[in-house]
Amino acid sequence: MTEPNHTLSQPATLRSYGGKSAEERKTARKRALVEAAVQLFGTQGFAAVSIDAICAEAGLTKRYFYQTFPSREALLTAAYESATRDYMQSILAAVSPHLMDARKLVRAGLEESFGFVQRNPVKARLILIEAMTVRGQLGEMYGERYDAFVDLMLQFTRPFLSGPKVPDKVLRVMAKSAVGIIIHLCQSWIATDFKQPVKELVDGTERVFGGMGRELGVKGYI
């Protein structure tokens, strides 16, 4: 008596093709589309890039595009989220060895903030330049990512506070100012093809942050 052929009755969504399950192939297609979008949006701009161009870059058909994303705007949001996540993770990795030393933490954070931009110009242009022109299409994602950078700044600052208590709303304004300084410097740096040495950007910004640190009574700056 032969064993029943369970493979023939297996749902199509669970079958494996080329050693990959349907879910793995779906994930790979989404990753390919997001990577293509980061590349094209970060070099040509959102307005200039068509779905056909994205599919060509990803090596996929439009059928797979619409199976993965309902619109170009949805893909833009996913691309922006992916690039900003990479940026934040790189900064976290750089500062994590210096959580007990405010000066080293600030230095490492600034070096990586500018270093990531220089190493990843396409992602940087999407995050810091193109995003400014497509804020409407990004919807809430733009504000959420900005707030996430501010929260990161506050997370690393609060453990070092030793002076008079600063109201949280005031502290948040200072954190937003710090993030804004980095964004503005990076935008002008990108626009000039990274002509200014990284060390000059880090040294100058570190002095500004040091002034904030002394005002807040941050240990290591007073």
**pLDDT over 70 (residue 14):** no
pLDDT at position 22, please? 82
State pLDDT tens for residues 106-122: 999 999 999 999 999 99
Global pTM value: 0.87
SS3 content of the chain, % helix, strand, coil (to 5): 80, 5, 20
- Coil, strand, or helix at residue 17? strand
Question: Cβ neighbours of residue 220 under 8 Å, at least 6 residues apart?
Answer: 101, 102, 103, 160, 213
Q: Tokens at residue 20, please?
A: 């990959």
Which residue shows structure tokens 């040509």?
44
